[in-house]
């Protein structure tokens, strides 16, 4: 059976490559301007060209965000940028602003346009309007139930994209002014300070400086912070509803996050394709999703209006049960040694886990650790340090190493 495209975030070139290697059908990314993730690594035009070539060589599409709410001054440089994107060969641009859409249609009429979730498409009349404007795909608002998605699908022919995993914004489809009001950093221009994730207390106007806690849990209060979205168990319903693309949030997340989440959803989609009637969420998939840095999970609006508890983090805002420590760059089968690029400190004697492209994992105790001259060392403490280590079985490049941490909820 046909299953939706799996669309993964690519905050920089390395994350793009990881998303492709771990099973994405398409990736979305931003350039150095005009996108809504200013603090992601983002891509120069040269890096974007390399990324497009890497993805296309493996049958993966690349979509570029041009989804700011543009001011007059933004329109001056945008035509040249659009022509450059078309020349690079990107597969679509993602826009939210009607003026930007009109400009794309004028400057690069052959370039497909996806309508961003920032446009807050929540009904079939709006979807039909955008279809008539010539958009190639609509990224639906996150605030929709399954039945609402089905109704939109019945009413329009344009392909539909739905977020299935990652951070949720407390504001309507990300249209937030809180960050701009409190810090001067405009979320609608890609520079959100994530003020909704901060800890808050109560102050009485005649007692300035005297803070009264609004207790939600022992570690503080995050009254505006949503839990993270996870719709893994609803993949068959999304397929049945006619959704064309399943989108993972996370351009500012780590390579480990991107690879792990993409791997899980790739396996789930492949299982659904093979036998949709007998599809079941595997416990190992849930375990994998629990290994990345995340907030508690919720189904958001998908099954109905979220309960109060589903939107606020109850105890701690993040769960980080594993530390990502390295990426395998090469493997020498003759010596049983892997060349690893360090991401966090690790040392001999530690138990590490390996995630392989394809989703398999295995654990081992690190006994052999060597510098680049293959001299024994006790630890790899330096960022991006390259070391060799002994492994009990062969691994592929892009395998990831992580360490379980002592973790209390």
Specify the pLDDT at position 168: 79
Q: What is the pLDDT of residues 13-54, one digit of tens each?
A: 999 999 999 999 999 999 988 876 666 578 999 999 999 999
**Which is nearest to 299 in space by CA: 151, 171, 160, 144?**
144
Residue 406 banded pLDDT, cuts 50, 70, 90: confident
Give the residue-averaged pLDDT of 230-235.
96
Q: What is the pLDDT of residues 327-375, one digit of tens each?
A: 999 999 999 999 999 999 999 999 999 999 999 999 999 999 999 999 9
**Do residues 391 and 354 touch, judged by C-beta distance below 8 A?**
yes
Residue 110 banded pLDDT, cuts 50, 70, 90: very high
Measure Cα distances from 228 to 12, 186, 202, 237 in Å.
22, 22, 26, 20
What is the CATH architecture assignment of 5-173+225-311?
A: Alpha-Beta Barrel (3.20)
In CATH, 322-404 is 3.30.390.10: no
Residue 195 banded pLDDT, cuts 50, 70, 90: confident
Q: Do domains 5-173+225-311 and 322-404 have the same CATH topology?
A: no
Domain spans of the chain?
5-173+225-311, 322-404
How far is Cα 127 from Cα 135, in angstroms, rounded to an integer? Answer: 10
Measure Cα distances from 113 to 133, 137, 401 in Å.
10, 7, 38
Whole-number average pLDDT of the chain: 90
**Do residues 327 and 398 touch, judged by C-beta distance below 8 A?**
yes
Specify the pLDDT at position 408: 43
């Amino acid at each position: 059976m046909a299953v939706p495209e799996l669309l993964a975030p690519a905050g920089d070139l390395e994350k793009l490559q990881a998303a492709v290697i771990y099973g994405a059908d398409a990736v979305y990314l931003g350039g150095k301007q005009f996108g809504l993730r200013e603090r992601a690594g983002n891509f120069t035009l040269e890096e974007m060209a390399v990324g497009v070539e890497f993805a296309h060589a493996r049958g993966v599409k690349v979509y570029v965000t041009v989804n700011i709410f543009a001011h007059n001054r933004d329109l001056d440089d945008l035509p040249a940028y659009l022509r450059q994107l078309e020349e690079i060969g990107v597969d679509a641009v993602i826009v939210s602003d009607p003026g930007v859409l009109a400009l794309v249609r004028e400057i690069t009429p052959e370039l497909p346009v996806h309508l961003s979730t920032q446009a807050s498409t929540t009904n079939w009349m709006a979807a039909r309007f955008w279809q008539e404007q010539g958009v190639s795909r609509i990224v639906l608002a996150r605030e929709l139930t399954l039945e609402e998605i089905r109704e939109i699908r019945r009413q329009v022919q344009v392909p539909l994209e739905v977020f299935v995993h990652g951070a949720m914004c407390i504001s309507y489809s990300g249209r937030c002014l809180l960050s701009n009001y409190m810090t001067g950093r405009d979320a609608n221009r890609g520079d959100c300070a994530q003020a909704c994730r901060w800890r808050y207390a109560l102050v009485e106007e005649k007692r300035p400086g005297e803070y009264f806690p609004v207790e939600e849990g022992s570690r503080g209060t995050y009254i505006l912070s949503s839990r993270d979205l996870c719709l893994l168990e609803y993949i068959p319903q999304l397929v049945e509803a006619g959704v064309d693309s399943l989108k993972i949030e996370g351009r500012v997340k780590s390579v480990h996050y991107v690879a792990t989440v993409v791997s899980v959803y790739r396996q789930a989609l492949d299982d659904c394709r093979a036998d949709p009637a007998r599809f079941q969420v595997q416990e190992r998939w849930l375990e994998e999703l629990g290994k990345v840095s995340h907030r508690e999970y919720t189904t958001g609006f998908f099954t109905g209006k979220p309960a109060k508890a589903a939107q606020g983090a109850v105890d701690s805002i993040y769960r980080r049960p594993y530390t990502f420590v390295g990426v395998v760059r090469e493997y020498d089968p003759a010596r049983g040694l892997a060349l690893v690029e360090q991401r966090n400190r690790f040392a001999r004697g530690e138990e590490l886990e390996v995630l392989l492209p394809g989703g398999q994992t295995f654990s081992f105790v690190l006994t052999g650790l060597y510098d680049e001259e293959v001299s024994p060392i006790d630890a790899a403490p330096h960022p991006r340090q390259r070391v060799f280590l002994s492994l009990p079985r062969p691994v592929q490049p892009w395998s990831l190493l992580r360490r379980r941490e002592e973790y209390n909820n």
